[in-house]
């Protein structure tokens, strides 16, 4: 299935300029693109460890809060399982990167990389309160503009997902050492609707301001059930933009 969206990300690079009349022109001062916030929840689920279940339920409730999205901007929830049956090796290394091995312990939630963090979940209500709070604090309860946008085309063939996209730097500065990351999520039920089941290979790129670059990337997935692809871009460990693509 092919989907055309305004997004942000990529992998297989070449630079180009858009025509000035193009409505997506990064040099067109009238173009603005809203930032999508990324919430990364790290969990471990088993019968002797209920706190992750509280966090999972809270994250699902949060993801359906359209009123909050209208206030702070759209946001995406990812559920990374560690040390359980749904865990991937990359999930643990990603958690170690996020936490820097400081006060490590799940459930642990990170907003936009290193913008904010909410650890623990004594109850569903408390976890939900903390998640909403860090979103409001980081955004000042305002929808923020993004420094990047992209036009994306995604195609799923069997257990392979291919993504082609264009990423534009709409900021006033050249960007170096940008880190592009992507995952695939699936609905594993019982509050696990956004479980990460596969990773794309990460990519480091640079992009001049007002420039557009094209990328392609793909990954295989271990399931034939419906999935979503989530892609994001980081600068200095801060997630600058994210997007969700249904496959």
> Tens digits of per-residue pLDDT, 104-136?
899 999 999 999 999 999 999 999 999 999 999
Which residue carries 């309860």 as its tokens? 141
Output 246 or 47, whichever has higher pLDDT: 246
pLDDT at position 17 = 42
Q: What percentage of the chain's residues is helix, strand, coil (to nearest 5)?
A: 20, 40, 40
Neighbours of 59 (CB within 10 A): 26
Beta strands in 52-119 (DSSP E): 75-81, 108-111, 116-119
Which residue carries 């490590």 as its tokens? 104
Euclidean distance between CA atoms 96 and 46, whole angstroms: 21
Which residue carries 């989530």 as its tokens? 230
**Maximum distance among all alpha carbons in the chain?**
59
Neighbours of 15 (CB within 10 A): 12
pLDDT at position 67 = 94
Euclidean distance between CA atoms 235 and 130, whole angstroms: 25
Dig out the tokens for 237 from the structure: 């460990």
Euclidean distance between CA atoms 228 and 247, whole angstroms: 5
Give the residues across from 217 on adjacent strands.
163
The burial class, CB within 10 Å (0-12 / 13-18 / 19+), for 201 is: exposed
Q: Which residues are CB-contacts of 34 (< 8 A; sequence separation ≥ 6)?
A: 73, 74, 143, 144, 145, 146
Average pLDDT over residues 95-111: 94
Query: How sure is the predictor about 27, in pLDDT bands with cuts at 50, 70 and 90?
Result: low
pLDDT at position 30 = 57
Instruction: For the chain, give the number of residues.
Output: 247
> Tens digits of per-residue pLDDT, 136-190?
998 888 888 889 987 777 788 889 999 887 888 988 899 999 999 999 999 999 8
The burial class, CB within 10 Å (0-12 / 13-18 / 19+), for 162 is: middle
Q: Tell me the whole-structure pTM to 2 decimals.
A: 0.86
Cβ–Cβ under 8 Å, residues 177 and 66: no
> Tens digits of per-residue pLDDT, 52-73?
999 999 999 999 999 999 999 9
- pLDDT > 90: percent of the chain: 59
Euclidean distance between CA atoms 239 and 224, whole angstroms: 29
């Amino acid at each position: 299935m092919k989907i055309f969206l305004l997004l942000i990300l990529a992998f297989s690079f070449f630079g180009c300029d858009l025509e000035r009349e193009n409505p997506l022109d990064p040099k067109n001062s009238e173009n603005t693109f809203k930032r999508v916030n990324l919430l990364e929840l790290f969990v471990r689920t088993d019968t002797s460890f209920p706190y992750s279940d509280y966090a999972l339920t809270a994250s699902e409730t949060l993801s359906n809060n359209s009123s909050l999205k209208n206030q702070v901007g759209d946001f995406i929830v990812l559920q990374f399982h560690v040390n359980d049956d749904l865990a991937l090796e990359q999930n643990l290394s990603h958690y170690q990167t996020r936490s820097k091995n400081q006060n490590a312990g799940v459930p642990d939630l990170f907003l936009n990389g290193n913008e904010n963090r909410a650890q623990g979940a004594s109850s569903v209500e408390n976890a939900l309160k903390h998640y909403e709070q860090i979103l409001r604090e980081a955004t000042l309860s305002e929808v923020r503009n993004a420094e990047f946008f992209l036009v994306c085309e995604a195609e799923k063939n069997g257990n392979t997902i291919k993504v082609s996209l264009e990423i534009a730097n709409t900021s006033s500065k050249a960007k170096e050492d940008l880190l592009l990351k992507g995952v695939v999520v699936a609905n594993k039920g019982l509050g696990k609707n956004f479980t990460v089941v596969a990773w794309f290979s990460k990519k480091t790129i640079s992009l001049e301001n007002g420039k557009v670059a094209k990328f392609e990337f793909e990954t295989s997935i271990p399931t034939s059930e419906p999935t979503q692809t989530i892609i994001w871009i980081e600068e200095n460990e801060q997630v600058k933009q994210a997007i969700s693509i249904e496959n």
